A = this chain, B = another copy of it.
Amino acid sequence: MRQSKLFTKTRKEAPADEVSRNAELLIRGGFIHKEMAGAYSYLPLGLRVLKKIENIIREEMNAIGGQEVFMTSLQNPEIWKKSNRWDNGVVDNWFKSKLASGGEVGIANTHEEPITNMLAHFANSYKDFPVYIYQFQNKFRNELRAKSGIMRVKEFMMKDLYSFSRNEEEFKKFYEKCATAYLKIFKRVGIGHKTYRTLAAGGSFTSGFTDEFQTISSAGEDTIYIDEEKSLAINKEIYNDENLKKHGFEKSKLKEEKAIEVGNIFPLGTKYSEALELSFQDENGQKQKIIMGSYGIGLGRLMGTVVEVLSDDKGVIWPESIAPFAVHLLALGDDEKVSKEAEKIYDSLEKAGIEVLFDDRLDVSAGEKFSDADLLGIPFRAVVSVRSLKDGGIEIKKRTEEKGKIVALEELLKLCSTNFTN
């Protein structure tokens, strides 16, 4: 894509109303736009990142047998009354609205009830289970205060998967499979080295423990204690001698860190299956309970975490797997030969199927182009200038490196195609 055509522009100044690093850098780079407190739109560069995260998650959910659906945001109060979650005294962050046709409607803050209710239309025999259903869909939460940029908002894209199993053993097997898939996802989006499966309190959904996935970051709201050897952690909420012992942690080996919760998985037991009357007949014709689990990842939260963890004073440093483009091609100056050469390189990269953002802007100084490249954080920067051509080609530099090197077009193409499969 040509940067001269991109409608967004970068900004030098941090927005006055943002304190978090992720919102500051993402707004300055034109990745997102703030609509109101706790609601951000995704602009072309940001949406490209979000879609890549979505695809990575989709691949891993499909790999463990997930079936993708797309549920409505509008929610029928009747089914939420069955689980006693329609009441504002029970769930305090509903957005509700009046229906023109009479009565109320909810805007989904989660989807346990509708997914369970829907599945009950299709599945009732032992032969129909286990089932794993997921979606990418906005959640709406009427929070009193939004904070942490795109990490704690009132509207956010979430991958939520629900598991429906016939017994505890079947449930636990999938639960562990999904935990493994989550670690793969966090690795693939570039924060695997800082992310730990973390034992946490059950919350309102379950009386037992749950697992969070926590990424070390000073921007985190949580405190966790990490056992590096085991690659496991325990949340401060449940950090006490009894729990440490119970779950095999040794106090002396634990390291305290601030962390961001990038995902969670938890047992739901039979709460929703019983309330929504989802059950099955076993081989002997006996009615049995369905055991559920819930597995969530907020896509914006994950994107914000990547920015918190992988950025420097100059801007974002996108991992190759989720970068909006693979290569940022900069043409410097208004020399005709440079323009011509840069156009040729742009064409070659595009033809090779390499995602390239081409800074072909004519009225922008070299200094500005360099600082934009750092702010946008595309993994490879390829500069074409009078000097680079004199030196024999294109100056290529990784966002993470200080110094670049001169390569010929063929070498650039080879480098990109080994690094990026588009």
Contacts and interface: CB of A to CB of B under 8 A. Distances in A.
Interface of A: 5-9, 30, 33, 35-44, 47, 50, 65, 67-76, 92-93, 95-101, 105, 107, 114, 118-119, 121-123, 127-128, 131, 133, 138, 140, 142-145, 154-155, 363
B107 A67 contact: no
Contacts of A35: 71-72, 74-76, 114, 118
B73 A47 contact: no
A9 B124 CA distance: 11
A30 B122 contact: yes
16 contacts: A7-B131, A7-B133, A9-B122, A36-B76, A36-B105, A41-B70, A42-B69, A44-B68, A44-B69, A73-B107, A74-B155, A95-B97, A97-B97, A100-B142, A107-B107, A127-B363
Nearest to A42: B70
Closest 4 CB pairs of A and B: A36-B76, A42-B70, A95-B97, A39-B72
B145 A101 contact: yes
Contacts of A92: 100
A67 B97 contact: no
Contacts of A128: 7
Contacts of A41: 69-72, 114, 118
A98 B98 CA distance: 11
B118 A33 contact: yes
A67 B144 contact: no
Given A95-B105, A133-B7, A73 B73 contact: yes
A5 B44 CA distance: 37
Contacts of A71: 35, 41
Given A41-B71, A72-B155, A118-B33, A93 B100 contact: yes
A155 B47 contact: no
Nearest to A76: B36
A39 B7 contact: no
Contacts of A47: 68-70
Nearest to A40: B72
Contacts of A95: 97, 105, 107
A213 to B, nearest CB: 24
Contacts of A131: 7
A21 to B, nearest CB: 20
B69 A143 contact: no
Contact of A67 (B7, B50, B114, B123): B7
A50 B68 CA distance: 12
B44 A142 contact: no
Contacts of A33: 118, 121
A11 to B, nearest CB: 9
Given A35-B72, A101-B145, 8 more contacts: A39-B72, A41-B70, A44-B68, A47-B68, A92-B100, A95-B107, A100-B142, A101-B144
Contacts of A42: 69-70
A74 B114 contact: no
A69 B97 contact: no
B74 A36 contact: yes
A96 B105 CA distance: 11
Which of A50, A74, A131 has the most chain B CB atoms inside 10 A of its CB? A74
A106 B98 CA distance: 12
A72 B41 CA distance: 5
A41 B97 CA distance: 19
Given A40-B72, A70-B47, A7 B107 contact: no
A5 B65 contact: yes
